[in-house]
Structure 1
Amino acid sequence: MEKTSVVYRQRFKRRARRVARRVLPFMASLFMATPLASPVLNSKVKAASVETKLPSNQELQTAFYNQRTHKLYEEMALESQGLRFEVFEKALTGYLNLQTEGRLSNEKQLLTVVDFELPSTEKRLWVLDLAAKQVKFHTLVAHGHNSGEDVATTFSNQNESNMSSLGFYVTQDEYIGKHGRSLKLDGMDEGFNTNALERSVVMHGADYVSEDFIKQNGRLGRSLGCPALPMDQKDEIIEAVNGGTCLFLSGADQSYSSKYLNQDVAINALLSSNS
């Protein structure tokens, strides 16, 4: 046990040094870019009585994670495609947590994000290829009938609720059901979406998910809780995301929480990928 502890401490120190090398230049540039808050003379007088405080290892790691997340968000031009940064950050954190647990496919680095705070008339589903740093799909998606009219505001994990369920999912196998080609979804968040398989909450196509339906009705049609897709895109999307990729359904529910939103785990995953 003593040898294991020593090895762990050595690994931790090496990791901390790697983070410091990456983040300290970034922190220094921020410091140099900040205008002085008081005259130089006063600053010199105060400097003698103020002890310089270096950022902690945790602060360095957090700065590193925030920098990497913002950089990826910008490289993929996600703001211009309507994906809010705060939603993307949560989705990426969960993706990295699930990846760390070995729940995701090693062959597909795909992250599907749905923002149910947007109205159904807007394209609010994105399939992100994190390896290629590209948006593979950006399209419409329906929410559950009892979750709301144009905007989903109420969510449930209960059987026969006909509501959408928030949280992280891992895609499973395809099958042919009453909606044709469909994709099983395994909910990961206890109390929020873990009844998805029992409820038959799946990804499938629907005629009521289209621009024509919006023109006629002022909103999309609604499902029984499934994230339903446009018929002309459902085959391509299901083909792309099946077999162990991450899906995150985000919505305005203050009660929602997830163990997969652990930023420390996500930071370690990024550090490991750069070691």
Structure 2
Amino acid sequence: MEKLVFILFMGLYAALFSESKNVVPTEIHKKEITVKKKISKVDALYESMNLKDVVNYKAFKEAMEGYRLLPAKNKDVLSIIDFTLPSTEKRLVVLDLKNEKVLFHSLVSHGKNSGSNYATSFSNTPESFQSSLGFYVTENTYQGSNGYSLVLNGLEEGFNDRAKSRAVVVHGADYANPRIVSSLGRLGRSYGCPALPRELAKPIINTIKDGSLLFIYADNQEYIAKSKVLNHRDDLTAYYEKDMAGDKFGKMN
């Protein structure tokens, strides 16, 4: 009797296993699989560029979401500022995505009213003297009171779209010198601009000027919840499903 029960059980198991192998994925499952394959390219790029000790993975992932969605003249270069790090650490990274290289890794100042060593408060309001989060596109350069400077156009309404009227630009500053850290225990602070060490300002500006994307990250819950770029999930899903043949990073020019 036990032998008969065992035979019946094995026959039922074999039938179920055979049926499961022949299940045809639904269209929804196919789309999910496709999206996961596309998204995994971000992980592969993070690993191939050896970015683990250079830039926070979450900051990189969010930056790449905006990179895929937002049009820009120069999609070979992407800059990320990670304000979850203290000002005593290198928070700006400039990436050459075309050639998979780290071009610059630098200290960068935040706004004087955003915090002391850490930037914790952000604003889009004039005269707030705070940094602003989100995606920017770089524009032209000019000689101003802070020397060679780069105009930033904030792309996110409510978060950084007043960057131009606030004169939030990339420039060099003496207070962004690493020697300041030894005396103050932190980097000097700006009026809201991402200020760089003097010796790096010109080469970095010349690399990222004229239409590349800059993303300022802080793992800020309000920004994550309300950013129109990060919350265009349907648009991103549809975009990931497009044929990306011949274009590794999916430029959207």
Classify the TM-score, shorter chain: 0.7 to 0.9
Paired position in structure 2 for 1:138: 105
- CA positional deviation for 1:41: 11
The answer to whether the Cα contact below 8 Å between 1:167 and 1:250 also exists between their aligned partners in 2 is yes
Aligned to 2:227: 258
Match of 2:25 among 45, 50, 54: 54
Say yes or no: does 1:85 pair with 2:57: yes
TM-score (normalizing by structure 1): 0.77
Structure 2 stretches lacking a partner, 5+ long: 1-9
CA distance in 2, matches of 1:214, 1:126: 19
- How has the CA–CA distance of structure 1 residues 231 and 120 changed in structure 2, closer, same or farther, with 3 Å as cutoff? same
Amino acid across the alignment from 1:249: I
Counterpart of 1:271 in structure 2 is: 244
Partner SS, residue 69 of structure 2? helix
Q: Counterpart amino acid of 2:125?
A: Q
Query: The residue matched to 1:248 in structure 2 has which SS?
Result: strand
Aligned-partner Cα distance in 1 for 2:13–2:163: 60
Deviation (angstroms), 1:122? 0.6
The code of the aligned residue for 2:64 comes to L
Is it true that 1:76 corresponds to 2:49 in the alignment? Answer: yes
For 1:105, give the aligned amino acid. K
Instruction: State whether residues 154 and 253 of structure 1, in contact with CA within 8 Å, keep that contact through their aligned partners in structure 2.
Output: no
Counterparts of 1:85 and 1:134, CA distance in 2: 16
Structure 1 residue 259: Cα displacement: 2.5
- The CA deviation at 1:234 is 0.3
Change in CA separation of 1:252 and 1:90 when aligned onto 2, cut-off 3 Å: closer
Moved more, 151-160 or 205-214: 205-214
- Pair 1:209-2:176 in alignment: yes
| TM-score normalised to structure 2 length | 0.83
Decide which structure has greater helix share.
1
Corresponding residue to 1:96 among 63, 68, 82? 68
Provide the C-alpha distance between the structure 2 equivalents of 1:159 and 1:183, rounded to a whole number of angstroms: 19
Is the alpha carbon distance of 1:230 and 1:65 closer, same or farther for their aligned partners in structure 2, counting shifts above 3 Å? same
Q: Report how many residues are paired.
A: 230
Which residue of 129, 153, 158 maps to 1:191?
A: 158
Deviates further, 63-72 or 251-260: 251-260
Q: Tell me the secondary structure at the aligned position of residue 197 of structure 1.
A: coil
> RMSD in angstroms over aligned alpha carbons?
2.4
Superposed CA offset, 1:7-55 (max 9, x none): xxxxxxxxxxxxxxxxxxxxxxxxxxxxxxxxx9997586478694737
Deviations 1:146-202 (A, max 9, x none): 000011111000000000000000001001111000000000001000000000000
Deviations 1:107-127 (A, max 9, x none): x51000000011101101000
Instruction: Give the CA deviation at 1:209.
Output: 1.0
CA contact (8 A) 2:175 2:187 kept: yes
Which amino acid is the alignment partner of residue 76 of structure 1? M
Structure 1 gaps, min length 5: 1-39
State the identity as a percent: 41
- 1:93–1:266 CA contact under 8 A, matched in 2: no
Does the C-alpha gap of structure 1 residues 41 and 225 become closer, same or farther in structure 2, counting only changes over 3 Å?
farther
